[in-house]
Structures are given as structure tokens and as C-alpha cells.
Chains A and B, each alone.
Chain A
Amino acid sequence: SAVISQKPSRDICQRGTSLTIQCQVDSQVTMMFWYRQQPGQSLTLIATANQGSEATYESGFVIDKFPISRPNLTFSTLTVSNMSPEDSSIYLCSVVGGRGTEAFFGQGTRLTVV
């Protein structure tokens, strides 16, 4: 298993500003994943962050809006840029324990944009 810490746990932000979310894992992992869960919705994968290379974004998500850093094998950040109320969601960091194992999740960052 993996223990994932996310910061901040919640924030209220003004529209037009940016927020950077941090994700720390207690073990080295190759891939880290960022998901968004809009109110009452399922988890949508934003991007896959591989250490040493640019993140791979899913359809509908772009680097300018959601820049990701992956400086080492235990840490990643997701920035939500130029925020609007539609960005109000829970953002979740995730890792997979090993090839073919389940995903482990941080507790999420609850973002409200006003």
C-alpha cells in the first residue's frame, strides 16, 4: 500500500487566481495520477505524471490550465490556473501500488472558487 498526503486539504480562492496542490507519497513510484471529482460526479483523470518527463494529459485537459510538476519519485504538484467557479471540485492525487495493483488516493483537496 501507499500513504499519500495532499496539501492543502481545502481552500477557497478568488476567480482568476491560481492554486498549487502538493502530493507527497511515502514510497517511490513511477507514475502519479491527478483526478478531478466535480460535485456529485465521478473521478475524471486529468493527467499522468511520470518523473523526468512531461505529464500526459487526458482529453479535455491542457497543460496551460493544469500545469504539473514531478521533480522526484515521491512528489508532484498540480496547479489549477486562472480559476473560475467551474473549477470548484475535489482534486485527488493517486498512485498505483505496483503493476496491476489498485489505485491509492490521497484525501483530496476540496477547492471552492468564488
Chain B
Amino acid sequence: AQSVTQPDIHITVSEGASLELRCNYSYGATPYLFWYVQSPGQGLQLLLKYFSGDTLVQGIKGFEAEFKRSQSSFNLRKPSVHWSDAAEYFCAVGSPLNRDDKIIFGKGTRLHILP
């Protein structure tokens, strides 16, 4: 079964600084990988996804993520954060080899932005 770990519960960065949120997965093959964002009191929004091909994936809102098979990682990056990026970020993993399409979520990283 697939699993996903987000090592950082909270991250604080200054507005304009770069950001990297960590995500590690466990799966016997190349999984499907996702990053979702949830703003306070809001629903989930997909930032980006990786299924195959180019390991550097571009998403919405200026985010990107890089799939590194050797490190079982799919870290999310942004070169310059804005105050509006303060939210909860969830990494998620799907399983191409399984018959079901279930997606498992990490515990999330809460991003705080300093003015």
C-alpha cells in the first residue's frame, strides 16, 4: 500500500523568500503524486500533479515540484512566496498498480508567511 510523509508540520518564511515543502512517499513503483492546498475554511485545490515523464512539474500559482525517484521525494517549491500563500499544503499519492484509484494524503504542512 502507498503512504506519504510530510516531515514538517509548520513552516514559516518571509514574504518574498523562497519556499520548499518536503514530501516523501512509499510505494513499490512510480506512484501518482499530487500537491493540494487548503486555505482556511476553504476546500482543497490541486496545485500540480505528476504521473510520468518530465520529473519537474509546473503548477498553478507559480508552484513547481520535482519528482526524485532515488530519494522517493516530491518536494514543492516556489521561488518567491506571497502573503496569500499562507495555507495548509497536502502531498498525496495514488497507486497505478492497484485496481482502485484511492489517493492517500500526508498529514500536511502549515505555511506561515511573515510580512
Let me know if A42 and B96 touch, CB within 8 A: no
Q: How many A residues, CB 8 Å from partner?
A: 23
- Is B61 an interface residue, CB under 8 A from the partner? no
Residues from chain B with a CB closer than 8 A to the CB of A50 are 100
Interface of A, helix, strand, loop or mixed by DSSP? strand
Stretch at the interface among A19-27, A61-69, A78-86, A100-108: A100-108
Most interface-central of A31, A33, A42 (chain B CB within 10 A): A42
Q: How many B residues, CB 8 Å from partner?
A: 20
Q: Which residue of A lies closest to B108 (CB)?
A: A42
Residues from chain A with a CB closer than 8 A to the CB of B51 are 100
Let me know if B34 and A31 touch, CB within 8 A: no
Residues from chain A with a CB closer than 8 A to the CB of B46 are 102
Let me know if B90 and A43 touch, CB within 8 A: yes
- Is A2 an interface residue, CB under 8 A from the partner? no
